Amino acid sequence: MQSKSEILNEMETVELDSEIIWNGRKHAQTVTEVSENSFEVEGNRGGHYRFFLTGTDAPYLRNLNSSREYDVDEFLIVR
């Protein structure tokens, strides 16, 4: 498992149109928006997620469809 600092370092290199995988997902998903402290991903089946790089719980993500928040335990930029 990656450390929080490893995950944050990887997340800081995300660019628009990067393909990412997180928390054991099998299929890469596309980054659709990047801001200073977060970025958004559009899922393959209509899900939308915002990843946060700052705050006491960082790194974490919010499912924008349900507003539920999740820890990011694994993160990889595929492309």
Q: Please tell me the pTM assigned to this model.
A: 0.93
How far apart (Å, rounded) are the C-alpha atoms in residues 62 and 57?
Answer: 12
Locus of tokens 């209509």: 46
Number of domains, the chain: 1
- Give the pLDDT band of residue 1 (cuts 50, 70, 90): confident
Tell me the pLDDT tens digit for each residue of 44-74. 788 999 999 999 899 999 999 999 999 999 9
**Which domain range does residue 42 map to?**
4-77
Distances (CA, A) of 10 to 2, 20, 22, 26: 10, 10, 11, 18
79 vs 54: CA distance, rounded Å: 23
